Amino acid sequence: MEIITVSLVTCPECGHAEKLSMAMDYCQFFHECAGCGILLKAKEGKCCIFCSYGDVPCPPVQKEKISREA
């Protein structure tokens, strides 16, 4: 299974969606929405904004899932 490095992040406040590149080796905790300017923060229990608001989880979570399935 290939690691996906782009996620469509949707702002919970204004609904603005943007494709963002993800780093392979760390989680991104914050992102400023280009639509309304609020600072997106990782939800409690989630590691990053991609796992909180994205359509694809971050690469470290993807890697963990792949290793569990192997």
Q: In this predicted model, what pLDDT tens digit does every residue of 14-52 receive, in sequence order?
A: 999 999 999 998 889 999 999 999 999 999 999 999 999
Question: At residue 19, what are phi and psi to the nearest 5 degrees?
Answer: -85, 130
Prediction pTM value: 0.91
Round to whole Å and give the CA distance between 47 and 59.
11
- DSSP, collapsed to helix, strand or coil, labels residue 26 as coil
Question: Over 80: is that where the pLDDT of 1 sits?
Answer: no
Instruction: Retrieve residue 1's tokens.
Output: 């299974």
